[in-house]
Structure 1
Amino acid sequence: MKNMTFILVVLMLFLIPGPAVIVTISQTIKGGKKNGIVTGLGIAFGDLIHTFAAVLGLSAILMTSAYAFEVVKYIGAAYLVYLGISALINKTKKVGKPTVEKMNPNLSFRQALLIELLNPKTALFFLAFLPQFVRSDSYPVTIQLLMLGLTFVLMSIIYTTFIAFLTSIIGEKFLAKTNQSSNWIGKVAGLVYIGLGLKLAFQTQE
């Protein structure tokens, strides 16, 4: 029963657009469907690492140490702002037909992974969220936490892949309407990154 409740709660959380969804959408629009899928995989891999950290108790450091929380938070915020500024100052060449910018999938994966890893709220989320669905009459706690975390990661991959496909379809139709879209899409993505970075910077530990 708790497993089904866990799945339903995660689905509800996915319905609320968060940084993972925003980053996936912006990267899909910038670099295409494959780029969006790879971004989702990077986010999921970051969540997987957070799961292992929560299981091993490493995330507890972020909850008890205000200094550790602040360090990780500002590193993550600085990285997001850096990505945003880079996107804003990047000059997009004008083309005769609307095309998406070719991006290195490995770079997209690494960027998404770092964004997810350097968000202390994610670590605290896994530490606080997963134990709520542990059953006393089931497998050892460690095994249950791993299973819950892996379930979350798998659902995240499916969800971000769906988002990438949907954004790709809508994006292609939208890009076909104007020859200048590729110029401002990068700027919008840059503003999104900066916004996420500032939001992360002003988050508190509570």
Structure 2
Amino acid sequence: MSIDFLLTSLIVVASPGTGVLLTLAAGLSRGARASMVAAFGCTLGIVPHMAAAVMGLAALLHTSAIAFQTLKYLGVAYLLYMAWTTLKEQGALRVDKDMSPRSARQVIVAAILVNILNPKLSIFFLAFLPQFVSAADPHPLGRMLELSLVFMLLTFVVFVGYGLFAAGIRNHVISRPRVLTSMRRTFAGAFAALGARLAFAER
């Protein structure tokens, strides 16, 4: 396992994106347990992209404009939906005192969808992983799977860190209605901005 791979992966994972945003929102609105659930869901959302890259299916998104655009606009629609529900106090920043089983499932589903509906992740894996697999490696598939699992582990650990930080300041936020309202608007705007960025993304 090269240092270059670990550093590059850490930079990619720690960079603010939809997964980070959702995990922060879960920590702020529902506490530490919810943030860990969100981090787990975001990590699970990587699996289809990882599998697509390992099996070469991500190449389809790179070569087929229709496939890429279809998945992309589904992702855009979902991010805009997240922005709307957050603003209406029904989405990512809905404040719950307890993390019920139903709300846990909702967080996991939302986190998985956020990553699944991002075609850039598949293309990222397609371009990223092969750079760290030697042409002389006798088991390239196993090596790619190993690297992918390390990437997923880093994702989970970093996202849990983000979520626990958000959970730590939760009481300071929810005890101040104006701050909570501002946070809702900020998160809704961020989801909308990420949706707009994805809408203009090219293969």
TM-score over 0.5 (shorter chain):
yes
Compute the RMSD of aligned alpha carbons.
Answer: 2.2
AA of the residue aligned to 2:121: T
- Tell me the equivalent position of 1:181: 179
Q: How does 1:45-194 map to 2 (within 5 A)?
A: 45-90=44-89, 100-102=95-97, 104-176=103-175, 178-194=176-192
AA of the residue aligned to 1:87: T
Residue segments in structure 1 that go unaligned for 5+ positions in a row: 93-98
Q: CA deviation at 1:38?
A: 1.2
Q: CA deviation at 1:76?
A: 0.6
TM-score, normalization by structure 2: 0.87
Highest CA radius of gyration, 1 or 2? 1
What is the percentage of aligned positions where both structures have the same residue? 31
| Residues 173, 180 of structure 2: 8 Å contact kept | no
CA 1:8–1:91 in 2, change beyond 3 Å: closer, same or farther? closer
| Residues 62, 69 of structure 1: 8 Å contact kept | yes
TM-score, normalization by structure 1: 0.86
Aligned residues: 197
CA 1:135–1:76 in 2, change beyond 3 Å: closer, same or farther? same
Deviations 1:175-198 (A, max 9, x none): 44x244344433332222222211
Q: CA deviation at 1:111?
A: 0.7
Residue segments in structure 2 that go unaligned for 5+ positions in a row: none
| Residues 79, 114 of structure 2: 8 Å contact kept | yes
| Residues 30, 185 of structure 1: 8 Å contact kept | no
Q: Secondary structure at the match of 1:143?
A: helix
| Residues 28, 35 of structure 1: 8 Å contact kept | yes
- Tell me the equivalent position of 1:96: none
